Homo-oligomer: A and B are copies of this chain.
Amino acid sequence: MHLTQETDYSMRIIYCLAKSGRRMDAASISEAMSVSLRFSLKILGKLAGAGLVNSYKGMRGGYELARPADQITLKEVLDVAEGHAYAISRCLCEGEECNRGMSGCCVFQNLWAQITGEVNQTLSGITFADMIERDAQRQPAKTAP
């Protein structure tokens, strides 16, 4: 029913890179996220493979966003992390046609498609720059004391 941990971590990792604006190595990221180094590396590999982050080997290597934060949407990250687009019901996924009961294309599929569409639209309308903005709004002016 829920998005996976991997999706959760992926979001945070991209957010972290977006906020820092600099290249970071996996160890720093994993520490900032409180996720094991191994698992962070696995996820970063996936994100790099999908072209959301660029990776650099060797000393001074690490990861950075492949595009500016205002050009990466939540939907993109979710799709990569989950392996496919968000869908509230399985019956909307390819190769998983609902052929039980209900004559032909059922009423529920119709409804699930509607909800799924709304969620995806929301997610594709929000970038990581927006998220940073949102966070700033929530924490009202933490200026020097």
Which residues of A does B touch, CB under 8 Å? 1-5, 8, 11-12, 15-16, 32-35, 74, 82, 86-91, 93, 98-102, 106-108, 110-111, 115, 118-119, 122-123, 126, 131, 134-135, 138
Give the residue of B11, B90, B126 whose beta carbon is less than 8 angstroms from that of A2: B90
- Chain B residues whose CB sits within 8 angstroms of the CB of A98 once the complex forms: 8
Main secondary structure of the interface of A (DSSP, over half): helix
Please tell me if the beta carbons of A89 and B8 are within 8 angstroms of each other in the complex. yes
21 intermolecular pairs with C-beta atoms under 8 Å apart: A1-B1, A1-B2, A1-B82, A1-B87, A2-B88, A2-B89, A8-B89, A12-B100, A12-B101, A12-B106, A15-B108, A34-B99, A35-B100, A35-B101, A88-B119, A107-B131, A110-B134, A110-B138, A111-B131, A111-B134, A115-B123
Identical subunits present: 2
A133 to B20, CA, bound (A): 52
A133 to B107, CA, bound (A): 10
